Structure formats: structure tokens, C-alpha cells
Amino acid sequence: MALYKRGDTWWYKFKHEGLVIRESAGTSDKGIAAKIERKRHNELDEGAKVKRKPKARLQFAVAVKHWLALKRADWSDNNLRIETANFGHLESHFGGMLLSDVTAEDISRYKIERRKQGASPRTIAMEIGSLRAVMRKHRLWADIQPDVKLPRGREDVGRALSADEEHRLLTACKKNRSRSLYPAVLLSLHTGLRNQELRLARWRQIDLIGGGDFPFGSITVGKSKTAGGSGRIVPLSQTAQTCMKEWRTQFPEALPAHFIFPAERYGGVPNDASGYMSEKCLPYSVDPTKPIGSWKVSWTAARRAASVSCRWHDLRHSFVSRMAESQASDATIMSLAGHLSRKMMERYSHTRNEAKRQAISVLDQRSPRKEPSGIVNN
């Protein structure tokens, strides 16, 4: 027998003739809940019927369709895209099954199949998380939860770029056909903004004049991944201000509501000598009312040209690590990066080991008296 809490209410769980009984005690008092559990156990021993809840008889594909329709209004476009992709993988395995027939063994087989396809543990965990959300809605997840183990992704994936890598990467971005790649990458390195925060930023969010506390201006983050990230103000460095002022001259008619990095289409420029298209590309269609869709293609090309293996999110790692190098306080770094906890902040700070080592070395200087080097047995 076992008691556990859901919110303020105690629940009990035990087995009766091979059947798992999991019911609410309907009270916030643990002592009363224990009495209710014993009473229920005695009732079953005396022949009382088990109250069975009717299980959802929906096909997995139908349940997913209903779930997406229910959540569409609350999710961002990016979240909807991720969840839709997750369910796309899940449907190939569970699509023909009833949702109520999904077992822990089915999920285990799914994990094995996805690993064979090359999916990372974090990706598989996200996909099973989407499955869990649908099953929870229909009160089916609790029955299999104890037997399902989610894969754990690596926590050390992110890294900070070296000064040489940053230089090579920015040089390659400058030469890239996408004219917005260089200012976007530099701004990310100098502000720590996430890719989505940059992509959706509007001109009204950035101050390029500066003055007062922020002599080189600042950028105010809009909607962010975390509550602590939304609305935070990040000062601009002189380098970032110069870059963004130059970028602003590309859009003389930009309005405050226009996106800093608008949607653009590129085309080749005819070569007067040969008549063929030259390698040079110029934007021929710009829509400032829509954000750029993605830097994925140009970003991949720039990384390859620079021979730098990294993710876009590593630009953020680099920013936080540079702040740590400057001996900025934890509170300052969390405020700039929009983190909610010191634990999350520590994940991004890759340069403090030396500072920690130096701090510990002070203990060796605590006393001029020579300490014993070994253990003395009495």
C-alpha cells in the first residue's frame, strides 16, 4: 500500500488480486487518507466491486487531432511546429492503435526503433512527452507511468566558442549570401538573445541612440522562452550598436512595428560580360511585416566555410561565458540572459573552473604553519 499527493489531495495505490487500485482519498490530511485506504482495502477483501472508469476508445491519430485543435490557440507557431513534428514520428508507430491500448512495452519498442533511426535521447524524450500529454488528457498515462523511463539527453552539449572561432565565423557570415546573417550572429554573440528572440524582434524594441545608463543603446526582449526572459533589457556593446546602425540604413522606410530581420528573397545578378548569372545575390523582395523564416541554410553554409562546429545556441553559451570571464555577478548574468535559476545559469558558464580553482587555493594560504601531509594512526 502507498500514499502519495497530487496537489493538496492524498491518493492511495495498492494491488488487489493482480489489479492496481489507484484512487483519491479526497482529503488533504494524511492520517485520514490512511484510514480511507484501509477501509477501501477491507471493502475489496469483502467482495466490493472495483469502480472502473470507462477508457477512451479513440484511435491515436484521432486523439492527436483533437489535442492539436485544443492547444493551437495557446501555442506559439514554433511550439506548434515542434509538437506536430513529434506526433508525425509517433503516428508511424501508434497511428493504427487505440489510445487505451498503448502500453509501456509499446513505448519501449518505439524508443528502440527511434534510436535505430538515429534520433537523439533528447528528441525521443520530447516525442514521448507529446504522447504523455495526450494520454494524460484521457487519464491513461498514470496506469503505465511507473513502467516508462524517459531517455535523458546530454547536459554538456553546449559550448563557448573561442576568440578565433568567433572571428572565423563572423568573417564567413559577412561573405554569406544572406545579408542579415552577419548582424544577427554578431547581435546574438553580444546580447545572448535566443534565435527566436532575434528573429521576432521589431525596430521598436531596439534603442540605437543610447545615453544615460546605456551609452550605446539597448534592446528589449519581446516574448521569450521563460517568464524571466520576456521584457528584459540588454545593453548593447559599442560593436553591436555600430553594426545595427549600419543594418538600419538598409531600411530607410522601416516603421517601429517592422521586423529587424524581415523576410527576404534573393536572386542572382546578371554578369554583363558573359550574360550568365554571377555568384553575387541581392534581395529582390523584402516584406518588413513578416519576420525572416530561418537562417538555417545560410548558417550551415557559414559554419562549413569557417570550419566551426557549433549550434546557434552556442552563441548564447559564448555570451554568458564572456560575462563570467568579466567577473560579472551571478545576478547580473541571470538578468542579462533571462535565466530563472542559478542552476540553469551554471549550465551556460563554461569558464569559471579556473576562478573556482583560484578561490580554493586561498585555503592553502590560510595559515603559515605547515599542515601534516599524511594521516596519523593513533
pTM of the prediction?
A: 0.62
The confidence score (pLDDT) of residue 351 equals 54
The confidence score (pLDDT) of residue 77 equals 76
Q: Are 61 and 95 in contact (CB under 8 A)?
A: yes
The confidence score (pLDDT) of residue 347 equals 61
According to the 3-state scheme, what is the secondary structure of 36-83?
Answer: HHHHHHHHHHCCCCCCCCCCCCCEHHHHHHHHHHHHCCCCCHHHHHHH
Task: With CA atoms as reference, report the closest residue to 192 among 25, 288, 313.
Answer: 313
Q: Which domains does the chain have, with CATH numbers?
A: 2-45 (no CATH), 60-147 (1.10.150), 163-356 (1.10.443.10)
| Residue 275 three-state SS | coil
Which value, to the nearest 10 degrees, does the dihedral of the CA atoms of residues 166, 170, 176, 181 take? 100
The confidence score (pLDDT) of residue 277 equals 42
CB burial of residue 363 (10 Å; 0-12, 13-18, 19+): exposed
**DSSP letter, residue 372:** P
The confidence score (pLDDT) of residue 287 equals 92
Q: Are 112 and 151 in contact (CB under 8 A)?
A: no
**Helix 121-137, helix 104-116: angle, nearest 10:** 150
Q: Digits of tens for pLDDT over the chain (378 positions)? A: 588 887 788 888 888 776 777 788 888 888 888 888 888 888 877 776 555 555 556 888 889 998 999 888 888 777 888 899 999 999 988 988 888 889 999 999 999 999 999 888 889 999 999 999 999 988 889 888 888 888 776 555 678 899 999 999 999 999 998 999 999 999 999 999 999 999 999 999 999 998 888 999 999 998 877 766 788 999 999 999 999 999 999 999 999 999 999 998 876 655 555 554 445 667 778 899 999 999 999 999 999 999 999 999 999 989 988 888 787 887 888 888 887 566 666 665 555 566 666 667 767 765 555 554 454 454
The confidence score (pLDDT) of residue 79 equals 82
Could you read off the pLDDT of 141-176 as tens digits, one per residue?
A: 988 888 888 877 655 567 889 999 999 999 999 999
Q: What are the distances in angstroms from CA 268 to CA 55, 172, 182, 277, 315?
A: 59, 19, 20, 6, 30
Task: With CA atoms as reference, report the closest residue to 193 among 232, 162, 237, 156.
Answer: 232
